[in-house]
Amino acid sequence: MSEPLMALCTSSKMQPIRDLISKVASTNTTVLLRGESGTGKEVLARALHKASPRAGRQFLKVNCAALPGELLESELFGHEKGAFTGAYRQKPGKFEAAHQGTLMLDEIGEMPLRLQAKLLHVLQDGEFSRVGGEKIIDTDVRLIAATNRDLEASMRAHQFREDLYYRLNVIEIRIPPLRERREEVPGLVDFFLKKFNAQYGRAVDIPADTMRVFVDYHWPGNIRELENAVKRVVVLGTARPVHTEIIGNINRGPRVTMPGLPSVAAAVASPDAPISLKEIARQAAREAERVAIKEVLDRVHWNRAKAARLLQISYKALLYKIVQCGLVVQETEPEKQKEVIAS
Ligand SMILES: Nc1ncnc2c1ncn2[C@@H]1O[C@H](COP(=O)(O)OP(=O)(O)OP(=O)(O)O)[C@@H](O)[C@H]1O
Ligand SMILES: [Mg+2]
């Protein structure tokens, strides 16, 4: 694997994934990447592109959750002049720009049904037309789709097309959460330490006891959360505050499963510890937010764009809060390393 970041995916859990990537890189097959937020889906997609014969061409990414339907259609397929209000000139879409390269469709589970039908047509026939146009455009793009949604549940709820699901799911790669490959934590910490020390001109180290805490922690935000923790250590010049915060998270347990504000006992690490009213208020506020966000997300089947609208916060702010609150998509099936190679 040429990608330096992939060199860090060293655990036995990642070995089958590395093997699979090497095997499918040379082919044109569509790949579906699944995994919790922050597990490295984009890193893997880029590694796959770099290892493929398309490496010299474009790798482009479109986040299907970031744009409303009409804009997403134009982003993917382009538009002709006058196709809609504001379409002052013709604009090619990402399918054209990524010709002979790789296109990553991130958050594929958020794609509106109408566009799913258009995407299926492109995948089947290798051609499409721009919005407002009739000209048929041929396309040769390797597609990588990614999601942290339970696509099977979306299918049952008629929010995701079954035929598209099977068309995308030729090769499925499930990236395990960081808590299931803790042996990679020290290597990742060293990698991020080097990166941020170089970036900020520092020489900060992580003491052994903090490293043990890092290995023990369940990292609900996965590698992204670990990366941010190391960044904070380097910026602050000391590991202590981050160490204390993570111990607090560990004491609170991996994920409070259901509503109910934290008790005083949960807010402090030991019975003799001082009780900070401020801290209790902060935690209660955070927990109330967590419960509200989870309820809304469940209600809209984890359509985060919709949830952000209902909660009246930006999509980006919601993603941040999902990680901060340790909310992750619940898998319907037990975690399994499913690798399906179509015959
Ligand atoms: N193997 C790795 N080595 C080093 N850094 C990594 C690795 N995997 C992921 N990262 C870093 O972790 C962060 C999250 O990775 P990435 O964006 O690929 O995750 P994701 O699964 O696409 O997350 P999301 O579902 O939230 O989009 C990025 O900053 C990335 O650089
Ligand atoms: Mg991503």
The domain that holds 143 is classified in CATH as 3.40.50.300
Distance, CA of 79 to CA of 280 (rounded, Å): 53
Q: Are residues 171 and 205 in the same domain?
A: no
Question: Is pLDDT of 257 > 50?
Answer: no
Q: Are residues 148 and 244 in the same domain?
A: no
Residue 320 belongs to some domain of the structure: no
Q: Are residues 40 and 149 in the same domain?
A: yes
Question: Is pLDDT of 262 > 50?
Answer: no
Which of 89-93, 156-160, 243-247, 332-336 has the least mean pLDDT?
Answer: 332-336
Distance, CA of 304 to CA of 283 (rounded, Å): 23
pTM above 0.95, yes or no: no
Q: Are residues 164 and 110 in the same domain?
A: yes
pLDDT of residue 339: 29
Q: Are residues 168 and 230 in the same domain?
A: no
Q: How many domains, the chain?
A: 2
Distance, CA of 102 to CA of 23 (rounded, Å): 17
The protein residue with its alpha carbon nearest to ligand 1, atom 2, reads: 5
Question: Is pLDDT of 342 > 50?
Answer: no
Q: Are residues 71 and 186 in the same domain?
A: no
Residue 43: CB within 6 Å of ligand 1?
yes
Q: Look at phi and psi of residue 40 and say left if phi exceeds 0, alpha if psi is from -120 to 50, else beta.
A: left
The position carrying tokens 């398309």 is 54
Q: What residue ranges in the chain does DSSP mark as E strands?
A: 31-34, 59-63, 102-106, 127-128, 137-138, 142-147, 171-174
- pLDDT tens-digit series, residues 165-215: 999 999 999 999 999 999 999 999 999 999 999 999 999 999 999 999 999
Range of the domain at 194: 182-255
Rounded to an integer, the average pLDDT of 145-159 is 95
- pLDDT tens-digit series, residues 36-87: 999 999 999 999 999 999 999 999 999 999 988 889 999 999 999 988 888 8
- Structural tokens at position 112: 């509106």
The alpha carbon of 26 is separated from its chain's Cα centroid by a whole number of angstroms, namely: 24
Which of 103-112, 150-159, 258-267, 334-343 has the least mean pLDDT?
Answer: 334-343
Distance, CA of 141 to CA of 123 (rounded, Å): 9
Question: Is pLDDT of 270 > 50?
Answer: no
State in Å: Cα 298 to ligand 2 middle.
Answer: 21
Q: Are residues 139 and 204 in the same domain?
A: no
Residue 93: CB within 6 Å of ligand 1?
no
pLDDT of residue 130: 93
Q: Are residues 47 and 104 in the same domain?
A: yes
Which of 144-153, 166-175, 192-201, 294-303 has the least mean pLDDT?
Answer: 294-303
- pLDDT tens-digit series, residues 154-166: 999 999 999 999 9
State in Å: Cα 39 to ligand 2 middle.
Answer: 8
Question: Is pLDDT of 139 > 70?
Answer: yes
Task: Give CA separation, 293 vs 215, 254, 308, 331, 343, in Å.
Answer: 28, 17, 9, 18, 42
Residue 116: CB within 6 Å of ligand 1?
no
pLDDT of residue 259: 36
State the closest ligand 1 atom to the C-alpha of 106, by its place in the atom list counted from 1.
27
The domain that holds 212 is classified in CATH as 1.10.8.60
- Dihedral (Cα; 27, 29, 30, 31), 10-degree rounding: -60
